[in-house]
Amino acid sequence: MNNSYYYRREFWKNLSGKSLIKLGLAIFFTFSSIGFISDLLSGGRYLDWYVVFNVIFSGLIGVGYALGAIRNWKWIPIVLGTHLAVAIILPSTTIVIENIVIEISKVRLIVDSAGILAMVMLGYMFFIIFITGEGIPQVQLKTEIDLARKMHDVLVPEIEIRDRRFHIFGKSQPYLEVGGDLIDVYQKDDILVCYTADVSGHGVAASLLMGMFKSAVHTALSKSLSLQDLVNTCNQVLNQLKKPTMFLTFSAIRFDGTNLVEFSVAGHLPILHYRADENKIEELIIKQIPVSVKKDYNFLTRKAQFNRGDIFLFLSDGLTETNDKNGIEFGMENIKKILLENARLPLSEIYNVVTGTIEKYGTQKDDQSLMIVKNIV
């Protein structure tokens, strides 16, 4: 996914005042040379005061256009209006030596040429200062982001499992370099736990909370906690380790060797249960608040029966909330329709059909995760 527009926007938006001054000086001196160039093109006929004015005005107009382009496009009409107003108020007939054909003097030629050279050199110098000053932090940031991306890939790898009971396939695609979506599978003896989580927000902060949640889940599962105890324990742990405004939604299923599956949903989208023998889809849902909102909240679980060929589909709202050009969301019903029409396909192909259809429908604006679990016995 190409996020170049997002990063450009964030770069200019978060540029410090000191860096803006450096950039402004670079643009000012570069565009100031236009004042001297204009005098040369006029044959040296501009009045001295106008040459000085044009040098300063050209630099300021250049800065105005640049700031409008990188900070707020609403400034552009103001800058353009000022530019046109000056051109109207000071027509060329009032700023040249009228009706006199003169040859540009050697002194004037030297002054204009030296002015152009000085302005270009000063502009170049401040561009180098700006680029160098911003380049080092950007390289450091890129190094840190690359490391975070590698850690994210370790925490949320592609899942493809085939054993005697289940086939499982899933992927998570972050909106930025790292994200807050999590899909995971835990196996021990006859116990199989599949779950997904979606941390509020994007980027590194969401990814860190997601990593802490995965650690808490695996710690709880290693102690053979029930699904209900798992959710409640993780809720209490995370509540102490995150900002008050952060939370995560969660959904999980737990198989134990019987034909009953235990599930829990906490503020997340429902788990879709495709019943192969009836060719229909049911939503596994429990209306509960997200994890880590209230420390003492008691999360519940329920059970559902399943049979051979049944499919359980987990997804994040980054898929269902993808908008088309008219702002209409893709929605859960379209996901159900795709699953019904393609339930006989291999899981990786079901994944490709779902994500491919959504990719054609609209642009990704959030982390997107999809995990499919199929019972084969």
- pLDDT computed for residue 118 by the predictor: 87
Segment 53-73 shows an average pLDDT of 87
Q: What local confidence, expressed as pLDDT, does residue 102 receive?
A: 52
Range of the domain at 41: 4-149
Residue 187 has pLDDT above 50, yes or no: yes
Inform me whether the pLDDT recorded for 1 exceeds 50: no
Please check whether residues 314 and 350 belong to one and the same domain: yes
**pLDDT tens digit string along 82-93?**
888 887 777 654
Same structural domain, 264 and 334: yes
Kindly report the CATH number assigned to the domain that includes residue 318: 3.60.40.10
- What does the alpha-carbon distance between residue 371 and residue 258 come to, in Å, rounded to a whole number? 22
Q: Which residue has the higher pLDDT, 275 or 54?
A: 275
Note the pLDDT tens digit of each residue in 206-227: 888 888 899 999 998 988 888 9
Residues 119, 161, single domain; the answer is: no
- Kindly state whether residues 243 and 347 are assigned to the same domain: yes
Q: What integer pLDDT is reported at residue 5 of this predicted model?
A: 63
Q: Using the structure block, give the residue that is written with the tokens 């710690």.
A: 219
Q: Are residues 335 and 371 in the same domain?
A: yes
Shared domain check, 170 and 76: no
Measured between its terminal Cα atoms, the distance across the chain in Å is 38
Predicted local confidence at residue 239, as pLDDT:
86
Instruction: Give the lowest-confidence range in 46-60, 246-260, 268-282.
Output: 46-60
89 contacts: CB under 8 Å, gap ≥ 6? none
- Looking at the fold, whether 120 and 172 belong to one and the same domain comes out as no
262 in the same domain as 166: yes
Residues 208 and 135 in one domain: no
pLDDT tens string 230-269: 999 999 998 888 888 889 999 999 999 899 999 999 999 9
Tens-place pLDDT, residues 330-362: 999 999 999 999 999 999 999 999 999 999 999
Number of domains in the chain: 2
Indicate if the pLDDT at residue 68 is higher than 90: no
> Per-residue confidence at 50, pLDDT binned at 50, 70, 90?
confident
Can you give the pTM of this predicted structure? 0.69
Q: Which of 130, 149, 168 is the last residue of a domain?
A: 149
Last residue of a domain, one of 128, 149, 170: 149
Contact criterion met (CB below 8 Å) for 355 and 168:
no
pLDDT digits (tens, 9 = 90+) for 3-49: 556 666 767 777 778 888 888 898 999 989 988 888 888 777 788 88
Does 139 share its domain with 176? no
pLDDT in tens, 112-148: 888 888 888 888 888 888 877 776 676 666 776 777 7
What is the three-state SS of the chain?
A: CCCHHHHHHHHHHCCCHHHHHHHHHHHHHHHHHHHHHHHHHCCCCECHHHHHHHHHHHHHHHHHHHHHHHCCCCHHHHHHHHHHHHHHHCCHHHCECCCCCCCCCHHHHHHHHHHHHHHHHHHHHHHHHHHHHHHHHHHHHHHHHHHHHHHHHHHCCCEEEECCCEEEEEEEECCCCCCCEEEEEEEECCEEEEEEEEECCCHHHHHHHHHHHHHHHHHHHHCCCCHHHHHHHHHHHHHCCCCCCCCEEEEEEEECCCCEEEEEEEECCCEEEEECCCCEEEEECCCCCCECCCCCCCCCCEEEECCCCCEEEEECHHHHCCECCCCCECCHHHHHHHHHHHCCCCHHHHHHHHHHHHHHHCCCCCCEEEEEEEECC
Confidence (pLDDT) at 101? 46
Do 127 and 220 belong together in one domain? no
pLDDT at 6: 63
| Token pair recorded at residue 226 | 């029930």
Contacts 24+ apart (CB under 8 A), 97-101: 97/45, 97/47, 100/45
Last residue of a domain, one of 149, 178, 205: 149
Same domain, 131 and 235: no
Question: What pLDDT is recorded for position 375?
Answer: 96
Q: State the pairing for strand pair 159-162/280-284.
A: unpaired
